[in-house]
Amino acid sequence: MSEPSPRPLIALAGNPNTGKTTLFNHLTGARARVGNYPGVTVERRVATMSLAPGQPADLVDIPGTYSIVGRSAEEQIAIRELTGLGGGRRPDLVVLCVDATNLVRNLYLALQLQELGVNLVVALTMMDEARGILPEPQLLGAALQCSIAPVVARTGEGVPALVELMKDRLATPDPAPRWRWTPSPGLRAAMDRVRDAAPAAWPKDDALALWALMSVTDVDELQGVPPEVRAAVLGGGPSGEAIDEEVITARYRWLDEHIAPALRGPPERSLTDRVDAVLIHPVFGFVVFLGIMFVVFQSLFAWADPAITLIEDLFGAIGGVVATSLPEGILNDLLVNGVIGGMGSVVVFLPQILLLFFMLGLLEDSGYMARVAYLMDRVMRLMNLNGRAFVPMLSGFACAIPAVMATRTMERQRDRLLTMMVVPLMTCSARLPVYTLMIGALFPPDRLWGVLPVQGLLMVFMYLFSVVMALTAAWVLSRTVLKAPNVPLVLELPPYRAPRLRDVLRMMTSRASMFLREAGTVILGFTILLWALLSFPKDVPFTQDYEAKLAAATTEEQVAELSAERDGELLRGSYGGRLGYALEPVIRPLGFDWKIGVGLIGAFAAREVFVSTMGVVYGVGGDVDEESVTLRERMRSELRDDGRPVYTPLVGVSLMAFFALACQCMSTLAVVKRETGGWRWPAFLFVYMTSLAWTVSFVIYQGGRLLGFGG
């Protein structure tokens, strides 16, 4: 972002919920280039806009903010983008979105920008809602001493005039700082001290000195603040609290005196009042909430299914065509099972991602997400998270991939990380085939006390277990690895507004394409690696001469049986098979033998692959599903070297606990890598979940044996 560009750089800033993203889409139209701010999991969106034919400019969308000060790394983004501090380029123009229905609060940020002396244009959004209460924009412009363009971002009304104004301000910049208040002598002295302490690379500027006085503390997370500035801020003078109060009160006093009296009445909020009377009602509020969350969950869990099946069938068919049209051999196998299969396992996530982001977009843009946070805060606080974590956690019951991506709806980096670290513990739908297989094979279809079905109870127990473990993990992680200064919840409840479908769709497709591009390539790579592990070497010493026997086979059944047995021997002799063998000492204390080890390696592609891998390992073929009677019987009859059965109910419970807790999913790791911008967090996720799984399975198996449950 530091490379020089001949195009003007324009920054779009504003409070959250001001229609900033809609305006961004209106101004740019084309696809945005999305990247991450270094060090924080916040997106940086840049797009090209056209000021006039042949006159392009870069527009950067600064994340919504109420203020330029703040002690966290993500709150620092605004000041960096606005001033170019920290290696960036200072924008040639800043367009500030100001919600016309909430003028005073929104203009607080305008005063900060004017103190900084940025070249400013104010876009007065939500004009359709504010007509009748607003003073004339010209009067407002005169009071604020800056250019103002009223727009309706939703319809695009006023946008051409805004672009004209932006062009004018670029041609004749007005970067003179404007201060609406006079600092007290004590504050003045502190500002002078901080300003004069700044090294050469740091602008000697009053507004920046004030930013430092209000942002730098001994517990902040700010990056790149020169030590001289830091020392000057912390070196005495008025207390931070006193400075905050003096500055903020002075700015609001000016706004109260010069802007508030010109308003012609309070904004119209009767619609929001009427809707809220239901949506945050103690009874109806929760009924509606549960209904909406049911729709979100059901769509991921069930409604995405036809599309998922279609994608699987499609890639299966493509694989089939390729398999038959190419000569048999390694290349054929690589293309069909590695590349096409791998692409299929990436694309298969799209239905859930698209659906979830469609619904997140509606919830967010309508203003309901803030109500979810309001309603659920009490519950989510148990995990040291705020209410916004609810939807990602809920989505985790369907699939961790879209759920991890949905953590973007949370403001704080630490909250996003914490949610990402516990969402993969939720019972996702890929665990169900494994549970079904184990429960069906090892537990009788009996009823407890004649009424409660044992198998069903176990399934319910697995869900409860995952919730308890996720809660516990969140509680522990938030007090250890992800310990952060407590930031109290301050939530804005914006007025309800109809979401704009085009913005929702744009966000949805941008997320999906980002997933394909960035997480997809990692998943594809993993798939090919796993394929190679489980397919090589090819020259496994067979126990019988399959070729001769296959040639002599007379019935189709014989052929199928022989090929299944041969595939089993191939898999057991592959690198993956040998790895499973090598793994045995590690997993034996959990009650697993090396064949289960091979299944665990196969399941890293996706948990449900465990079922078909076990089918191949046991030589009953890879076409089995979790309901397969053959596979269940084969499992029940599988014996250890000493003649005891491998699978006892205790081993079943141990294995299910392992699947509940282990990070047996390369796609989750790939998407966490994408969201956090590095391998550090996915590595931590893998290590902590797998250690947790091992420990819990160990306790279950060894404890069960001590208690005499056999095994």
Partner 1 sequence: MAELAQSDEIPLASLSSGTTALLTRVGGDRAFRRRVMELGLVPGSAVQKRQTAPLGDPIELEVRGCRLSIRRAEAEVVWVKA
- Contact pattern for partner 1 over residues 278 through 307, marking x by CB under 8 A: --xxx--xx---------------------
Q: Are 619 and 567 in contact (CB under 8 A)?
A: yes
- Cα torsion at 452, 454, 457, 459 (round to 10°)? -150
Per-residue tokens: 669: 């790791």
Q: Which of 36, 48, 50, 67 binds partner 1 (CB under 8 A)?
A: 67
Q: Which of 480, 486, 543, 554 binds partner 1 (CB under 8 A)?
A: 486
Interface positions, 378-417, toward partner 1 (CB under 8 A): 378-379, 381
Q: Which of 6, 488, 643, 708 binds partner 1 (CB under 8 A)?
A: 488
131 binds partner 1 (CB under 8 A): no
- The footprint of partner 1 on this chain (CB under 8 A) covers a number of residues equal to 47
Report in angstroms how near the CB of residue 488 gets to partner 1 at its nearest: 4
- Residue 319's Cβ-side half-sphere holds a number of Cα atoms within 13 Å equal to 19
Q: Are 607 and 658 in contact (CB under 8 A)?
A: no
Measured between alpha carbons, how far is 424 from 407 in angstroms, rounded to an integer? 12
490 binds partner 1 (CB under 8 A): yes
The widest CA-to-CA distance across the chain, in whole angstroms, is 102
Report in angstroms how near the CB of residue 9 gets to partner 1 at its nearest: 27
In the bound state with partner 1, the residue whose beta carbon lies nearer, of 70 and 91, is: 70
Interface positions, 170-229, toward partner 1 (CB under 8 A): 214, 217
Q: Which of 241, 539, 557, 641 binds partner 1 (CB under 8 A)?
A: 241
Strand 120-125 vs strand 147-150: parallel, antiparallel, or unpaired? parallel
252 binds partner 1 (CB under 8 A): yes
Report in angstroms how near the CB of residue 490 gets to partner 1 at its nearest: 5
Measured between alpha carbons, how far is 499 from 144 in angstroms, rounded to an integer? 31
The residue count of the chain comes to: 711
Q: What are phi and psi of 480, to 5 degrees?
A: -125, -90
Q: Which of 157, 228, 244, 333 binds partner 1 (CB under 8 A)?
A: 244
Q: How far is CA 361 from the centre of its chain?
A: 14
476 binds partner 1 (CB under 8 A): no
64 binds partner 1 (CB under 8 A): no
Measured between alpha carbons, how far is 655 from 516 in angstroms, rounded to an integer? 32
Q: Which of 141, 240, 316, 677 binds partner 1 (CB under 8 A)?
A: 240
SS3 state of residue 645: strand
SS3 state of residue 157: strand
Asked whether the bond before 589 is cis by omega within 30 degrees of 0, the reply is no
Q: Which of 1, 34, 143, 248 binds partner 1 (CB under 8 A)?
A: 248
Report in angstroms how near the CB of residue 243 gets to partner 1 at its nearest: 10
String of DSSP letters for 209-271: HHHHHHH--TT----S--HHHHHHHHSSSS-HHHHHHHHHHHHHHHHHHHTGGG--SPPP-HH
In the bound state with partner 1, the residue whose beta carbon lies nearer, of 361 and 495, is: 495
In the bound state with partner 1, the residue whose beta carbon lies nearer, of 370 and 693, is: 370
Report in angstroms how near the CB of residue 320 gets to partner 1 at its nearest: 54
Residues 6+ apart with CB under 8 A from 649: 442, 443, 709
Q: Which stretches of the chain bind partner 1, using CB under 8 A?
A: 66-67, 69-71, 101-102, 104-105, 108, 214, 217, 240-241, 244-245, 248-249, 252, 266-267, 269, 272, 280-282, 285-286, 370, 373-375, 377-379, 381, 485-495
